[in-house]
Amino acid sequence: MALPELTRTLDDDFVNTWYEIRADVIDNVNESTVFNLALREFGCYVPQVGGEYVTRTIGYGTKSTQPFVRGSVLSQSVPKLDTLAMWEWRYFLVDVNRTLIDDAKNSGPSKIKDYLTRRLGAARDAIVADTETYLHRWGTYTAAPVYPNGLYDIVSCETAQTAASGGTDADTQMSGTANGGINKTNKWWRNWFADSDSAEVIADREAAATVAPYSLNLVPDMRHFFNLINAQQAAPNFILMDQAIYEAYEDEVGDRQQIVRMDFTEKAADLGFVSLTFKGAPLTYSAKLAGTKHIFMLNMNDIEIVYDPEVWYDMTDWMYTPNQLERVAYIAMMTTGLITAEPRRHGVMEYAS
């Protein structure tokens, strides 16, 4: 087989093999951690083809009634009711590398399948590992490039994030615009939080009292915080936490834990993920939150991952490195990462480490 023909054959084999396993790779990503699984099972993936931005209309203003009697002078008000939240697209990719030497060595029928499997398998493993990391950190943890929005972008802590969640320069609960470009100096654009490190009480979106050390009063603190977020309107339906706090919760509830069967908990168990429940919501832990002492109470009905189905685990053409025999193709993804149009439906409890 002539070299140009060999190269074209392997080009096609790589691309065809990738698209044969692409669906399995997406499933591997969605089942790689319990949080990824929750995002899939709660229907958080939302497609959008193209567009300069991803936008959502945010209602924040209110009207009020007025009493009247005969002869009353009536007033009118025209408050601003809506604004627009905008999220920029984020892009990430993984490279697949080849060289003429390796192509030639692995061109025989007994070698080519292993060759394809090794190179594409390495790309798949990188996507699985890095996607998990992106979802558990701040998207803006470095100046450039900007990563997809993560959990700490939509449910911010009171203070700057720890190294475990990706650096030192992203939004806090009180300020910043990572989620939708709206500044969190607007109290209606804040998530709930409770903090065990400080006696400070902030007027909006903080628990009425700071939480005690989790070894002392975990379940009552969680109950109070859950009810604040719920506000008899929309309760959190997924709770994610640090492993140490998860184990403290196991110790505290012991044999009193109710077994609640639902589609998510059954699928999580089938995949080997451990989970409990709290007020009917699945409760579990993530290794990516290790050492943070954080408890996230989330309403998954108000969380989205917007992605472009035209650039979603898709493979580019093969490109030569100038003046060399090495070639590279890229598997690219286009997404916002995590977004929410209802920060008030989520909260984070911050325990002292």
- Read off the pLDDT of residues 64-100 as tens digits, 9 standing for 90 and up: 888 999 999 998 888 888 899 999 999 999 999 888 7
Distance between CA atoms of residues 119 and 115, nearest Å? 6
Question: Which CATH topology does 3-55+84-350 take?
Answer: phage-related protein like fold (3.90.1690)
Please, what's the b/e burial string for 245-265 (b: 16 or more CB within 10 A of its CB; e: otherwise)? bbebbeebbeeeeeeeeeebb
Which two structure tokens, joined as six digits, stand for 146?
């900007």
| 111: confidence class by pLDDT, cuts 50, 70, 90 | confident
pLDDT above 70: residue 163: no
Backbone angles phi, psi at 88, to 5 degrees: -80, 155
Distance between CA atoms of residues 118 and 319, nearest Å? 19
Distance between CA atoms of residues 346 and 156, nearest Å? 10
| 209: confidence class by pLDDT, cuts 50, 70, 90 | very low
If you average pLDDT over residues 158-175, what whole number do you get?
59
Alpha carbon 306 to chain centroid, angstroms: 11
| 199: confidence class by pLDDT, cuts 50, 70, 90 | very low
Between 62 and 94, the higher pLDDT residue: 94
Model pLDDT, residue 95 = 93
Model pLDDT, residue 145 = 65
Which two structure tokens, joined as six digits, stand for 212?
């005690």
Check: CB of residue 318 under 8 Å from CB of residue 99.
Answer: no
Cis check: omega of the bond before 236, within 30 degrees of 0 = no
Distance between CA atoms of residues 135 and 150, nearest Å? 4
Helices (H) and strands (E) in the chain, counts: 8, 13
| 221: confidence class by pLDDT, cuts 50, 70, 90 | confident
**pLDDT tens figures, 226-244:** 998 998 889 999 999 999 9
Backbone Cα Rg of the chain = 24
Sign of CA dihedral 221, 292, 229, 259: negative
Distance between CA atoms of residues 37 and 201, nearest Å? 35
Model pLDDT, residue 291 = 83
How long, in residues, is the chain?
353
pLDDT above 60: residue 117: yes
125 residue type, one letter:
D
Task: Specify the pTM.
Answer: 0.86
DSSP strand pairing (238-241 vs 192-195): unpaired
Model pLDDT, residue 84 = 93
Residues 6+ away with beta carbon under 8 Å from 127: 25, 29, 94, 313, 331, 333
